[in-house]
A and B are shown apart, each in its own frame.
Chain A
């Protein structure tokens, strides 16, 4: 197979897999939440309610796509596309298995951080362009939240970079041949998990769209497929963070018996379910608690982790 054909096939496969998984997650999340809350969840349409996704998709495509007259039209239309594009771009650097993955970038980890900071604009601009006070409050909250959680999201990953001696995600996976980084970098793992939750604004950190205070926050004015794109973008973000956790801390595709791709998918799916469990189990903090927790607990922890890791690596002598 020629190089071009291979990369085209990889890109198309990645697109189909991520978008398919993201829409499948709607069903998975509702079923799992129902399971943990002792009820049934969607179980009417098709076997186990699996076709519920299809029904929802048909519904959302045929809804009226309403742009409020007071909104800033170009920005309002552009905002939902930004989150989808930035998350899908990040997937390009994620190595799923040997030979599977779109690009092999030597600054892959930085590319992910850059794209995730671009994704923040989507929510902020949606909140601003809606020209509605609840949306604006949601957008403001999200700008502050994303900015502060990005800081130690990056810092928590630097311990992994120091141990692996590379920003390349493939080399980071290969550096975990002896031991998964979740063991020496447990602190970094916890901080990254929390920062990832905040970046995708999933439930314990969903202050930008806190329904009880802000109606639906930044996407109050959105309807139809534009709302759907925010929804899919959030699920894509969850998949991305889960995939990255398994690549950075759990040895990616490596594992006994099963083929590499299966290991990668199992690990990713485990973290996706963990994210849904967080949503089912945790209450939402107040906004000042969220910011205080970020700057007073997470930032010192990640700095401490980075300095300790660097000191130990220097003591032992160079990255392995």
Chain B
């Protein structure tokens, strides 16, 4: 179990580093998908297969397909890769590197004070997740649904205006 955890954690860290250092947008997205998949494996190892499946379906499956869709729609070519390369000069790495080092130091300190035991404490099955979502966390669920509704109404509004205008211009003699 521990070996599985460390392997997938290492893949997650590596692919996330690759996400931010790639200059080609689609390659970065592919590494991001790998990172999400390895996080799903970590969830499965820790005894939450339901959350692992949702991670793959929702994040890696749906949201990332949308990202890829948008990148394809913009059809960014070689010149944007070049532009990205010019943005990623060594100077911009200083602040993020310092911030990450602080986090790494904190992690190292926490680990040195006693290594956390990774074990399958209890399996989190779909029913437990459902009871948690509609029990103590029902407010969060409702807030998220209001946010989604706002997004839906906004998208409908944008699509509708376009449609109206086209109809008007077509009906004009």
Contact = CB atoms under 8 A, between A and B. Distances in A.
B28 to A, nearest CB: 12
Contact of A128 (B52, B53, B68, B126): B68
B57 A107 contact: no
A110 B26 CA distance: 27
Interface string B39-76: 00000000001101110110011100110110111010
B30 interface: yes
A88 interface: no
A144 B66 CA distance: 8
B27 interface: yes
Contacts of B72: 124, 127-128, 136, 139-140, 143
A72 to B, nearest CB: 7
A107 B50 contact: yes
Contacts of A124: 65, 68-69, 72
A125 B26 CA distance: 9
Interface string A132-144: 0000100110011
A308 B26 CA distance: 42
A139 B125 CA distance: 36
Interface residues of B, number: 25
Interface string A88-117: 000000000000000001110011011001
Tell me the interface secondary structure of chain A in the complex. Answer: helix
A155 interface: no
Contacts, number: 73
Contacts of A144: 69
Interface residues of A, number: 28
A143 B68 contact: yes
A120 interface: yes
Contacts of B12: none
Contacts of B19: none
Contact of B53 (A107, A120, A125, A140): A107
Tell me the interface secondary structure of chain B in the complex. Answer: helix
B49 A150 contact: no
Contacts of B125: 106
A136 B75 CA distance: 9
A114 B56 contact: yes
Contacts of B56: 114, 117-118
Nearest to B64: A121
A105 B125 CA distance: 12
Contacts of B65: 117, 120-121, 124, 143, 146-147
Contacts of A143: 65, 68-69, 72
A167 interface: yes
A281 B57 CA distance: 33
B60 A105 contact: no
A121 B53 contact: no
B126 A147 contact: no
Interface string B17-33: 00000001011001001
Given A107-B49, A110-B50, A140 B73 contact: yes
B30 to A, nearest CB: 7
B152 to A, nearest CB: 12
A121 B52 CA distance: 19
Interface in A121-166: 121, 124-125, 127-128, 136, 139-140, 143-144, 146-147, 150, 154
A75 interface: yes
Contacts of B26: 72, 75, 125, 128
Given A144-B69, A146-B65, A121 B27 contact: no
Interface of A: 72, 74-75, 105-107, 110-111, 113-114, 117-118, 120-121, 124-125, 127-128, 136, 139-140, 143-144, 146-147, 150, 154, 167
5 contacts: A110-B54, A113-B53, A117-B57, A117-B65, A118-B56
- Please list the 8 inter-chain residue pairs (A to B) with the smallest Cβ-Cβ separation, ordered nearest first: A117-B61, A110-B53, A114-B56, A143-B69, A107-B49, A114-B57, A107-B53, A128-B72
Given A114-B61, A128-B68, 11 more contacts: A106-B125, A107-B53, A113-B61, A114-B57, A114-B60, A117-B65, A124-B65, A124-B69, A128-B71, A147-B65, A150-B61
